[in-house]
Amino acid sequence: MTAANPVTTAREDGILVARIANPPVNALSAAVRAGLLAAAREAAADASVKALVLAAEGRTFIAGADITEFGKPPVPPSLPEVIDALEALDKPVVAAINGAALGGGLEVALGCHARIAAPGAKLGLPEVKLGILPGAGGTQRLPRLIGAAAAARLASEGEPVDAAKAAQLGIVDAVAEGDLLAAAKAKALALVGTAPRRASALTDKLTPATREEFEQAAAAIAKKAGDNPSVAAILDCVRLTFDTPFAQGMAAEREAFKRLVADDRSKAMRHLFFAERESSRIPGQPKGTTARPVAKAAVIGAGTMGGGIAMCFANAGIPVTVIETSEEGLQRGLERVGQTYDISVKRGSLKPEERERRMGRITGKVGLEAAADADIVIEAAFEEMGVKKDIFGTLDRVAKPGAVLATNTSYLNVDEIAAATSRPGDVLGMHFFSPANVMKLLEVVRAEKTSPDALATAVEIGRKLAKVPVTVGVCFGFVGNRMLSKRTAEVERLLLEGASPSDIDAALAAFGFRMGACAMGDLAGLDIGWRIRKATGKKAPVADALCEAGRLGQKTGAGYYRYEKGDRTPHPDPAVTAIIEKLAAERGITRRAIPQQELIERLVFPMINEGARILEEGVAYRPGDIDVIWLYGYNWPAQNGGPMFYAGLAGLPHIVERLDRFAEQTGDESLRPAALLRRLAAEGRSFADLKESDVAALSAGA
């Protein structure tokens, strides 16, 4: 199959079967669109053809528009034009949906007169995740087919449904248990001679009652989505189906699509889509490197982190042994895991029998010897080098040959931990984010001697655990926490200079973060940082004073904020203001009101600066990797694409100018712009222009 001809046609049983083959995911490139239009014309022109069936090769049906074409001049035929031509045929047109039918892919199927899906197919309108809306009739045909409320939910959530659910909703006519193509052909032949069922012309779902149902659903969707222009546009377009002719609705959808796709918000979200996929590629792996098989895992430590990691394995169907130093600690940890599952059961997101299956995969043991039969061991013990070295020394003795030995340390030097064993090639970091069973990020830390296949194993296991594994190098705090520490330092300064915890959190919320730095600190526990500072001799006057006052965060009912019993809502606390004012007075600082924009820049720009240093050192392989880390590890707002992408939006020269100013204002020379940042700004470039090879050249000192 040549790329120029990705749609081939064949006459089978009086049916024209058009097969799409545009690997890897049959995206709707210009050539595919042209091929589909040609197939529609061929079916129309040939009197011997009774029906048209659209089928696809490979594991997907059609994954949607070709996202790489966005932002480039449009090449005809347009997708709406192609879909209109399919729908307008007077002969039956049936889609045989073998795999994912997403975005434009589902819209093509909606232009057909019937749809048959394979049991494993997934159908959805994920455009909202790219900052756009369905742009080829999704907001106009789907409501007419399945009802406006259900269509609005599907398009605004962006999550696909499986074939069974799609059949239940009425998106597909049937799920084929056997041969999909045969079922689609049979359906097509059965429809010959009947009036085509065109979704664009259906009216039975557009009633005053469904309108009321839609308005209720829309109110709930809008409330949940907040300030999301994609969702607003989806709701507006779906609403049009009730009182606007199809063609006019299509025109409105097109206008909204054009407006959204040109916006920075969508550019940022598309950047993250590709950055996430690129981040899974590990540079420098010898050809043919394969992951080691993993049938059994062990997790050392039954604390919050260890328990969460064990749940990840159990959820993925991999048996896991949780190891503790005492029976008591073990029981406490296992109980907590059980309780976490119970919450999911109560919420209805986990079936009781599945809870039992998952718990059944977790075994508790005392003593490191229990790690002997594990193919991968993840240590999540106390964050102290001595403790880690002891554990790895013992693991070296008891773990089976070829087992991958990973540490979940969030700061410590993995090379040093590896040196406590006689097999440093098997040792690496697997840094999960709290809560480990929820957060999608996994920083895979490649130590100096980590072997290629151990690294490949960690990345593959990460994916099996439904994480986004990003490989990084060794440094204090790796990528995520190292950048976070820059923000934390600014929080300290800003509090002393005059901001309140609520001011700081409001600034981060205005920037798009779901949770501010102070509320986050209270949730995680302020003692974590306190312990690390004590071990490293660092100081954070405000946070230290809060901890010394017993204010460790939510768990003690007080931290940066005050909490009512049994409630997680942060309340500003005059006691905190008093602590801060006293510290400021002791330091001779005159507190002032700090404008929100200044707060945002003070909190975000130093992080970007640290990201630049991380790239200079080669600790991250690509700017996009840093963005993915912040998206999935710290809930960075997707609409501005991650810190390094955002730098381009804010303007590198502006960031350089501000950082120089901050350095002068605070006397902290470490706030001066990194050489890379200065250079890119001077050259009128941004981080997004840096390729992996550019970053590699930087760290090689070139």
Residues within the interface to ligand CAA (CB under 6 A) = 24-25, 27, 60, 63-68, 79, 100, 102-104, 107, 126-127, 130, 134-136, 138, 274, 277
Minimal distance in Å, beta carbon 315 to ligand CAA?
Answer: 18
Choose between 63 and 479: whose C-beta lies nearer to ligand CAA: 63
> Distance between CA 660 and CA 671 in Å, rounded?
7
Choose between 24 and 193: whose C-beta lies nearer to ligand CAA: 24
Catalytic residue IDs: 107, 127
* Tokens standing for residue 494: 């800003």
> Distance between CA 691 and CA 546 in Å, rounded?
44
Which sign does the torsion angle of CA 174, 15, 124, 176 carry?
Answer: positive
- 287: CB partners within 8 A, 6+ apart: none
Choose between 127 and 375: whose C-beta lies nearer to ligand CAA: 127
Minimal distance in Å, beta carbon 106 to ligand CAA?
Answer: 8
Tell me if 695 sits within 8 A of 621, measured CB to CB: yes
Minimal distance in Å, beta carbon 107 to ligand CAA?
Answer: 6
Minimal distance in Å, beta carbon 294 to ligand CAA?
Answer: 20
Choose between 65 and 674: whose C-beta lies nearer to ligand CAA: 65
Minimal distance in Å, beta carbon 422 to ligand CAA?
Answer: 38
Minimal distance in Å, beta carbon 257 to ligand CAA?
Answer: 7
Choose between 110 and 496: whose C-beta lies nearer to ligand CAA: 110
Strand order in the sheet with 161-162: 60-62, 100-102, 122-124, 161-162
* Tokens standing for residue 402: 């070829």
Minimal distance in Å, beta carbon 83 to ligand CAA?
Answer: 10
Three-state DSSP string of 484-530: HHHHHHHHHHHHHHCCCHHHHHHHHHHHCCCCCHHHHHHHHCCHHHH
Tell me if 363 sits within 8 A of 391, measured CB to CB: no
Strand order in the sheet with 51-56: 7-12, 15-20, 51-56, 93-97, 114-117, 174-175
Choose between 65 and 519: whose C-beta lies nearer to ligand CAA: 65
Minimal distance in Å, beta carbon 351 to ligand CAA?
Answer: 25
Choose between 100 and 305: whose C-beta lies nearer to ligand CAA: 100
Strand order in the sheet with 297-300: 362-366, 320-324, 297-300, 376-379, 404-407, 427-432, 441-445, 468-472
* Residue 326 burial (C-beta neighbours within 10 Å; 0-12, 13-18, 19+): exposed
Tell me if 34 sits within 8 A of 22, measured CB to CB: no
Choose between 77 and 319: whose C-beta lies nearer to ligand CAA: 77
In the block, which residue shows the tokens 């939910």? 153
Distances (CA, A) of 153 to 157, 214, 561: 6, 9, 36
> Distance between CA 614 and CA 506 in Å, rounded?
28
- 277: CB partners within 8 A, 6+ apart: none
* Tokens standing for residue 305: 């982190």
Tally of CA atoms within 13 A in the half-sphere of 682 that contains its CB: 7
Torsion of the alpha carbons at 603, 607, 610 and 614, rounded to the nearest 10: 170
Minimal distance in Å, beta carbon 22 to ligand CAA?
Answer: 10
Choose between 70 and 530: whose C-beta lies nearer to ligand CAA: 70
- 432: CB partners within 8 A, 6+ apart: 305, 308, 309, 312, 380, 408, 439, 441, 442, 467
Decide: helix, strand or coil at residue 406.
strand
Choose between 99 and 306: whose C-beta lies nearer to ligand CAA: 99
β-partners of residue 445 are 429, 472
Minimal distance in Å, beta carbon 449 to ligand CAA?
Answer: 29
Q: What are phi and psi of 129, to 5 degrees?
A: -75, -10
Tell me if 569 sits within 8 A of 420, measured CB to CB: no
Choose between 278 and 415: whose C-beta lies nearer to ligand CAA: 278
Minimal distance in Å, beta carbon 7 to ligand CAA?
Answer: 16
> Distance between CA 145 and CA 69 in Å, rounded?
29
Q: What are phi and psi of 233, to 5 degrees?
A: -65, -40
* Tokens standing for residue 589: 């600082």
Query: What is the identity of the amino acid at 127?
Result: E
Choose between 57 and 660: whose C-beta lies nearer to ligand CAA: 57
**Strand locations in 332-475, DSSP E?**
362-366, 376-379, 404-407, 427-432, 441-445, 468-472
Minimal distance in Å, beta carbon 275 to ligand CAA?
Answer: 10
